[in-house]
Amino acid sequence: MKTIWKQFSVLPSFSLTLGFTIFYLSLFVLLPLSAVFLKTATMDWGALWVTVTDPRVLASYKLSFGASCVAALINMVFGLLIAWVLVRYSFPGKRIIDGLVDLPFALPTAVAGIALTAIYSENGIIGHYLQLFGIKVAFTPFGIIVALTFIGLPFVVRTVQPILEDLDAHVEEAAASLGATGWQTFRRVILPELYPALLTGFALAFARALGEYGSVVFISGNMPMYTEITPLLIMSKLEQFDYAGATALAAVMLLASFVLLLFINLIQWRTGRRYAAKG
Partner 1 sequence: MQRLREGNKGKRNGLLYGLVFSMMAALTLGGCSGSSKETGTAAEAGISAKEAVQILNVSYDPTRELYQEYDKAFSAYWKKKTGQTVNIKQSHGGSGKQARAVIDGLEADVVTLALAYDIDAIQSKGLIKENWQKILPSNSSPYTSTIVFLVRKGNPKGIKDWDDLIKPGVSIITPNPKTSGGARWNYLAAWGYALKKQGGDENKAKEFVTKIIKNVPVLDSGARGATTTFVERGIGDVLITWENDALLAVNKLGKGNFEIVNPSLSILAEPPVAVVDKVVDKRGTREISEEYLKYLYSEEGQEIAAKNYYRPESKTVAAKYGKQFPKINMFTIDELFGGWNQAQKAHFSDGGVFDQIYKP
Partner 2 sequence: MENPIPSIRVQPKSGTIIRWLLIGIAFLFLFLFLLLPLFTVFYEALKEGAQAYLASLTEPDALAAIRLTLLTAAIAVPLNLIFGIAASWAIAKFEFRGKHLLLTLIDLPFAVSPVISGLIFVLLFGTEGLFAPLLAKYDVQIIFAVPGIILATVFVTFPFVARELIPLMQSQGTEEEEAARSLGASGWQIFFRVTLPNMKWGLLYGVILCNARAMGEFGAVSVVSGHIRGLTNTMPLHVEILYNEYNFAAAFAVASLLALLAIVTLIAKSIVEWKTVHQEYTRR
Contact status: 185 vs partner 1 (CB under 8 A): no
Would you call 21 exposed, middle or buried from its count of C-beta atoms within 10 A (0-12, 13-18, 19+)? exposed
Identity of the residue numbered 160: V
Q: C-alpha angle 153/110/97, rounded to 5°? A: 35
CA 279 vs. chain centroid, Å, equals 31
- Per-residue binding string, partner 1, 95-134, x by CB under 8 A, is ----------------------xx--xxxx----------
Question: Closest by alpha carbon to 175, among 164, 165, 185?
Answer: 185
Whole-number minimum distance, CB 121 to partner 2, in Å? 11
Contact status: 55 vs partner 1 (CB under 8 A): yes
Backbone angles phi, psi at 256, to 5 degrees: -60, -45
Question: Considering beta carbons, is residue 31 or 261 the nearer one to partner 1?
Answer: 31
Residues whose CB falls within 8 Å of the CB of residue 206, separated by 6 or more in sequence, listed in order: 68, 69, 71, 72, 152, 260
State the helix-helix crossing angle for 109-120 and 125-132, rounded to 10 degrees.
40
Question: Considering beta carbons, is residue 81 or 223 the nearer one to partner 2?
Answer: 81
Site for partner 2 in 168-187 (CB under 8 A): 170, 173-174, 176-177, 182
Torsion of CA 184, 190, 191, 195, to 10 degrees: 160
Question: Considering beta carbons, is residue 54 or 98 the nearer one to partner 1?
Answer: 54
Contact status: 243 vs partner 2 (CB under 8 A): yes
Q: Alpha-carbon distance 126 to 117, whole Å?
A: 10
Residue 204 binds which entry of partner 2, partner 1, none, CB below 5-8 Å type-dependent: partner 2
Question: Considering beta carbons, is residue 90 or 240 the nearer one to partner 1?
Answer: 240
- Using the contact rule CB under 8 A, the part of the chain among 13-21, 81-89, 103-111, 168-176 near partner 1 is 13-21
Using CB under 8 A, which of 245, 247, 248, 256 touches partner 1?
A: 245
Q: Alpha-carbon distance 5 to 41, whole Å?
A: 43
Question: Considering beta carbons, is residue 1 or 178 the nearer one to partner 1?
Answer: 1
Whole-number minimum distance, CB 177 to partner 2, in Å? 5
Q: Alpha-carbon distance 111 to 77, whole Å?
A: 26
Q: Which residues bind partner 1 (CB under 8 A)?
A: 1-2, 5-6, 9, 15, 18-19, 22-23, 26-27, 31, 54-56, 59, 117-118, 121-124, 138-139, 217-218, 221-225, 232, 235-242, 245
